[in-house]
Amino acid sequence: MSVSYFTKEGLDKLKAELTEKKTKGRAEMARAIQEAREKGDLSENAEYDAAKEAQGLLEMEIAKLETLIANARILDESKIDTSKVTVHTKVKVRNLLNSTEMIYHLVSEKEADLKKGKISIGSPIGKGFLGCKVGDVAEIAVPSGKMRFEILDITA
């Protein structure tokens, strides 16, 4: 798995999610399996099968989070190069179609939250901004056609 870059807050949120799944999630799964087991013959118990399947999915999510955290790096925001758009930069853009200005914070996929202006570097718009400099026009293919954005400012 490749290295993923996070803010300290983003990594702390992932660690909290992992702890929640390992403690509360596992306890709930054990309880559900025990309740299903008490309902009789396991060979014909659909509730038991469903609980075991849910347990397997939970363990898979835990393993993915552990791998993600093990390969995570905290990005020192004071050392971010703001001469071009990179992960964890904030980019102020103008939509050339309607002249609206927006600020996007490019983050890893796990930290993306459009309501907070955080977009994934893996999204079409995020990919379109990567490497752009102030004054560049990013032409980005989206499902509805092409969008054009002028890069106005880049900050950390």
Evaluate if pTM is beyond 0.75: no
Which CATH class, in words, describes the domain spanning 4-74? mainly alpha
Question: Contact, 7 vs 74, CB < 8 A?
Answer: yes
pLDDT digits (tens, 9 = 90+) for 112-144: 888 999 999 889 999 999 999 999 999 999 888
**pLDDT score, position 9:** 84
Find out if CATH 3.10.50.30 is the number for domain 77-155: yes
- Domain borders along the chain are 4-74, 77-155
SS3 content of the chain, % helix, strand, coil (to 5): 45, 25, 30
Q: Is 91 helix (H, G, I), strand (E, B) or coil?
A: strand
Better pLDDT: 18 or 38 = 18
Q: Is 105 helix (H, G, I), strand (E, B) or coil?
A: strand
